Chains A and B, each alone.
Chain A
Amino acid sequence: MGYEKFKILKSSVVPLPIENVDTDQIIPARFLKATERVGFGDNLFRDWRYHADNTKKKDFVLNNNNYSGKILVGGKNFGSGSSREHAAWAIYDYGFRCVISSFFADIFKNNCLNIGVLPVQVSPNFLDKIFEIVFKNPQTNLVIDLKKQTVEIEGTSQIENFDINGYKKNNLLNGYDDIDYLLNIKDSIQTFSTKTPL
């Protein structure tokens, strides 16, 4: 499935300063029953966002009108738990294009990269700085430049570099897909398969 190319993202952010946000919170298992990739954003953080009677929980950040934007900022170890790509889909479908944290769970990070959500890992200090500044002024924009691999808190001198491998970076910049790449080397895969030990 194609996704928007990622170049420079300038947006206000939604802060979620909780550690170990697991994929069961991002999208509870009971919402994984779809056979198509549609509508997952409605159930993003379902049980933190809504009461059992479907009324909104006022103190949850997604229900706070002060905060909006295409960037979600979470605490350390974001996306731990299940491999469900539905978690990344829910984040994308809600409108986020980037998740920032000081540490990501592996599978979640891969899932994000595969669907066009950029996971940006920053230092714990920089993460604290983002939270501090955004809580003071919710309108604060972050500027994420994928080509330069920088994240900047607009209007401050706070800027940090982030890591991403060259292959994935190129994919995101151009909207490329791993499967297209693999289908192009199908012959060598088939040759390889005849030599595998099992």
Chain B
Amino acid sequence: MGKTLFDKVWDSHVVKKIDDGPDVLFIDRHMVHEVTSPVAFLGLKNRNIKVLFPEKTFATADHNTPTRNQHLPVKDILSSKQLKALEINAKYHGISYWGLGHEKNGIVHVIGPEHGITLPGATIVCGDSHTSTHGAFGAIAFGIGTSEVEMVLSTQCIMQPKPKKMRITINGKLNKAVTPKDVALFIISQLSTSGATGYFVEYAGEVFSEMTMEGRMTVCNLSIEMGARGGMIAPDKKTFNYIKGREFTPKNNDWNNAMKYWSNLKTDDEAIFDKEISFDGSKIEPMITYGTNPGMGMSIGGGIPNSDQHKGNKKTFLKSLEYMDYTEGEKVLGKNIDFVFLGSCTNGRIEDFRAFTEVVKGKKKSPNVTAWLVPGSHKVEKAIKDEGLLSILNESGFELREPGCSACLAMNDDKIPSGKYAVSTSNRNFEGRQGPGSRTLLASPIVAAAAAITGKITDPRELIT
């Protein structure tokens, strides 16, 4: 029987199988950030042990960091304490640490790929559910809790039952203004927020092979939003071109050896998945969410479903619409919005800023909209400047902030006020996610750009030629 891509990577990392229990999985790369690591490091201290493989561990500050005046001391005392703790822990254990202001600093899932930490066929974990992003390179990458962070720091292993396997195949050509974000929001709207729980997903088909690496990262990033443990795409020429020559990518002979392993990283023809789903890419339209989980999405011109059409619990569905102050059956197109957020590990890469800029170029930001444009890393920030995007954005009335997770989870000051509507390129529209009482509509950078110009939910196809 053939093996899936997932099987190949998983099986080559199993140190030990426990009877009637999980597998002990070896982890190649461990990314660490300030919020989910301090208690794990404390655990090591209590056990009087050190990080087993510091060279496989990489730390950055991103979740609670300010996006303005990063050169000044962090004002929030608790955030500052957390950042200091990471710095001290990283130093003590000999882990590379890219803190605030460091040229390599940025959102953990943006900087991993940028510096070649993310590699095909690797096992990658981080105390953050969007670690699934790295699956874009054909890695098994998933989010873990703090106990598991402690586990990996102390033993470079994690205990995991092997998930089931699902393949989502999308063929056909994507239409104008349909981005990888729309593809992902479409899939989640079809599967629901728990439709892939218990599974590891492989994305296959023309739509994904045509996609850029940035686009693949956006899709894999959102795998967790349908409950999947992670998502992955088989590495191809595009993948190898992307990683070649980056700082932590293998060089010379190591590269040749790695290529031998990587060239076999695809699902065998005769391999069997526990579940197979397919969609027609040409049917996907620009998407937007209307409720309080990422599964509550629809085509931008569509109407909110009626509660009797809704498959899940009716009370939960109506509670969600009440929170958004929307009514079943109505359209969101044309509704006023207050904030636009471009950024996050989902859509904070250079390609996202290019797409946003393309739409707003030569137009002016609506005076009713507050826009926060937050690059995923300093590298992205630099590219925005180098490519001349910043001056176009400035002319249209937009400013650029400094890198970080920012309003995606609003741990810093970037909070959407209560009752206000934000079109956000991030990953979660949960109640209060972007600040207590905030109302989030998830969308692509293009849809966000259109909303920023008109101040309303707008079909981006009206603004682009």
A→B interface (CB under 8 Å): 1, 17-20, 22, 24-25, 28-30, 32-37, 47, 52, 75-77, 80-86, 88, 103-107, 110-111, 114-115, 165-168, 178-179, 181-183, 185-186, 188-190, 192-193, 196-198
Contact = CB atoms under 8 A, between A and B. Distances in A.
B36 A85 contact: yes
Given A80-B194, A110-B148, A193-B26, A22 B430 contact: yes
A18 B129 CA distance: 22
Contact of A167 (B20, B82, B261): B20
A82 B409 CA distance: 10
Nearest to B18: A167
B155 A179 contact: yes
B85 interface: yes
A189 B157 contact: yes
A30 B194 contact: no
Nearest to A114: B147
Contacts of A88: 145
Given A52-B437, A185-B16, A179 B47 contact: yes
B305 to A, nearest CB: 15
B411 A179 contact: no
22 contacts: A18-B315, A22-B293, A25-B432, A28-B432, A29-B409, A30-B411, A35-B39, A35-B42, A76-B312, A77-B227, A84-B145, A85-B39, A104-B197, A106-B229, A107-B129, A111-B147, A115-B147, A178-B159, A183-B47, A189-B26, A189-B156, A197-B121
Nearest to B41: A35
A75 to B, nearest CB: 6
A76 B313 CA distance: 9
Interface in B63-96: 63-64, 76, 78-79, 81-82, 85
Nearest to B437: A52
Nearest to A171: B21
Contacts of A85: 36, 39, 127, 145-147
A178 B146 CA distance: 13
Among B36, B145, B197, B316, chain A packs the most CB atoms within 10 A around the CB of B145
Given A105-B197, A105-B227, A107-B129, A165 B85 contact: no
A88 B144 CA distance: 13
Given A28-B432, A110-B144, A178-B147, 14 more contacts: A19-B316, A25-B432, A33-B79, A36-B42, A85-B145, A107-B143, A111-B146, A165-B22, A168-B21, A182-B151, A185-B16, A189-B26, A189-B52, A189-B155
B428 interface: yes
Contacts of B214: none
A20 B293 contact: yes
Interface in B239-273: 250, 257-258, 261
Interface residues of B, number: 82
Contacts of A34: 38-39, 78, 82
B396 to A, nearest CB: 31
A77 B311 CA distance: 14
A185 B24 contact: yes
A198 B257 CA distance: 9
B316 A105 contact: no
Nearest to A38: B39
B189 to A, nearest CB: 14
Among B79, B131, B150, chain A packs the most CB atoms within 10 A around the CB of B150
Nearest to B313: A19
A193 B227 CA distance: 30
Contacts of A30: 410-411, 436
B144 A52 contact: no
Given A80-B193, A88-B145, A179-B151, A19 B121 contact: no
Contacts of B437: 47, 52
Nearest to A182: B155
A36 B53 contact: no
A106 B157 contact: no
A14 B433 CA distance: 24
B358 to A, nearest CB: 32
B38 A182 contact: no
Those 7 A-B pairs whose CB atoms lie nearest each other, nearest first: A167-B21, A166-B20, A85-B145, A83-B143, A33-B78, A111-B145, A114-B147
Contacts of A189: 15, 24, 26, 52, 155-157
A36 B39 CA distance: 5
Contact of A35 (B38, B257, B261, B411): B38
A106 B437 CA distance: 27
B198 interface: yes
B331 interface: no
B334 interface: no
A188 B15 contact: yes
Among A80, A88, A193, chain B packs the most CB atoms within 10 A around the CB of A80
B319 interface: yes
Interface string B385-406: 0000000000000000000000
Nearest to B160: A110
B278 interface: no
Given A33-B82, A186-B155, A197-B258, A103 B194 contact: yes
A19 B307 CA distance: 14
